[in-house]
Amino acid sequence: MKRSPKRLFRTLLPAIALAVLAHSSSAQAPGVRFQRVVQPYVDAQMFMRSVLVAKDGKIIFSKSYGMADLEWKVPNSPTTRFNIASMTKQFTAASILLLEDRGKLKTDDLLKKYLADVPASWDKITIYHLLTHTSGIREDAAKYEPGTPDKLVFDDRPLNFQPGEQ
């Protein structure tokens, strides 16, 4: 699937803006530099988010832009909740790769090594299969209610395909 240049730029804008902030050669404060980069997109309603930048554990910039709800004219705020959907996948993958680099796990470890209660049909599924979406696990095969890990309930239905096949 090919992305439009406008959509691609909108996706990359936060990374570009953070790169501008990270560049230390400018004498301007990070907030001023970030504001200069992002303001044209805020004005065009192409950037509606909350931003927090921290360095060495200290917040150096925090500001919300645009509307959380255009219809009701509700502005974004530091407490606005965003539906981030699949955005967490990249952070989960990076965390797992860091754990592998530190010798805490291997991506070819079987899932059942860490989740003993998985159904028998999942016996050949590895962490790698989960990371690459090649496990064959059905979309509705596990249900989780917020709370403790024991609230994760597995459905022992057949896989959509054998791990690694698709």
Residue 3 clears pLDDT 70, i.e. is over it: no
The Cα–Cα gap between 93 and 114 comes to 16
pLDDT tens per residue across span 100-123: 999 999 999 999 999 888 999 999
Instruction: Express each pLDDT in 35-61 by its tens digit.
Output: 888 889 889 888 888 888 888 988 888
Active site annotation includes 86: yes
Find tokens 């959380």 and name the residue: 68
Helices (H), 23-126: 30-43, 88-101
Phi-psi bin for 6: left (phi > 0), alpha (psi -120 to 50), beta?
alpha
- Looking at residue 28, what is its pLDDT? 63
Q: Which of 86, 95, 121, 135 is catalytic?
A: 86
